[in-house]
Amino acid sequence: MSGARSSQPSMPAVTVRFDDVISRPHRSMPHMERSGQQSASAEFTGRALNFGVALVLLLLALPLLLVIALAVRCTSRGPVLYTQRRVGLD
């Protein structure tokens, strides 16, 4: 139908420069900057906290991982962890 008008309104042309988008922080997000480097104790504390949380989560996931390993062992002929000999530099 060449004479029929579209039922959707036309959209106005908008020009956005890449520099404008990158240089302006998002208005709804607070602007946060790092003030230099962290102190050694703060860095150690953050690293220790990350390690501790990862260790606790691993220990919590261990029973599920053991059940999965047992299911693989019972339903297949091979080992739980697949290994293969590869041809290469080693």
> Which tens digits make up the pLDDT trace of 32-88?
555 567 788 888 999 999 999 999 999 999 999 999 999 999 999 888 888 888 888
Instruction: Pick the more confident residue, 6 or 75.
Output: 75
Distances (CA, A) of 11 to 14, 22, 42, 51, 63: 9, 24, 51, 52, 56
Question: What pLDDT does 45 receive?
Answer: 92
CA distance 25 to 33: 11
Question: What pLDDT does 53 receive?
Answer: 97
Question: What pLDDT does 78 receive?
Answer: 84
pTM over 0.85: no
Distances (CA, A) of 5 to 11, 13, 35, 58: 14, 19, 57, 62
